[in-house]
Amino acid sequence: MEYYNYLKSLHLIFVITWFAGLFYIVRLFVYQIEAAQKPSPEKEILQKQYKIMTYRLWYIITWPSAVLASIFAFWMLLFTDLGQAWLKMPWMHVKLGFVFVLYLYHGKCQQIFKQLQNDEVKYTTNFMRLWNEGATIILFAVVFLVILKNAVNWIYGVVGIFLFSLLIMLGFKFYKRLRERNQS
């Protein structure tokens, strides 16, 4: 069991750094998109700096954290008795579904990262601000599933995630109005 706790500790550390990278990378995407709208030479100076920052964050922190979090998770699930038992539990199946969505989210961030590194701006800052909340929703869902396990009432859990998402959207609209008012 002590061996398992070391794996779990390492898994959690890298999950935390993975999410930190995902939260910050999208924020940097917002700044890169805003920089693309600036006049020269400010535009070129900012774009160069943001490209360096996103590259370092993405390849030195976020990707390695994702890989290491996954390695320790698979190790716990496949090579420990407790992990084998958890694989038979319904809450773990739902959690792994959210983890799969997290991998898709990460993949989309990779695509956006490459586009911005090539000076291709295909999304608005508003889209990026909303996109940033995707990781938050996944994080909430996974943490509640892991902590509550079998105590989760699936209907309330699903309704809760949708209500949380709705609150995020309303908060975004409120913040957008405040920004627009302050710019006027």
Give the pLDDT confidence of 45-66 residue by residue, as tens digits.
Answer: 999 999 999 999 999 999 999 9
What pLDDT, in 10s, does the model give residues 103-141? 999 999 999 999 999 999 999 998 998 899 899 889 988
Place of tokens 């996974």: 142
Binding-site annotation, residues for heme: 11, 95
Query: How many alpha carbons fall within 13 Å on the CB side of residue 45?
Result: 5
Give the rounded distance of the alpha carbon of 159 from its chain centre: 21
Backbone angles phi, psi at 105, to 5 degrees: -60, -45
**Do the Cβ atoms of 54 and 32 come closer than 8 Å?**
yes
Binding-site annotation, residues: 11, 95
Q: How far does the chain reach from its first CA to its final CA, in angstroms?
A: 60
Q: Is the pTM of this model over 0.75?
A: yes
**Angle value at C-alpha 36, between 32 and 39, nearest 5 degrees:** 135
Q: What is the DSSP letter of 150?
A: G
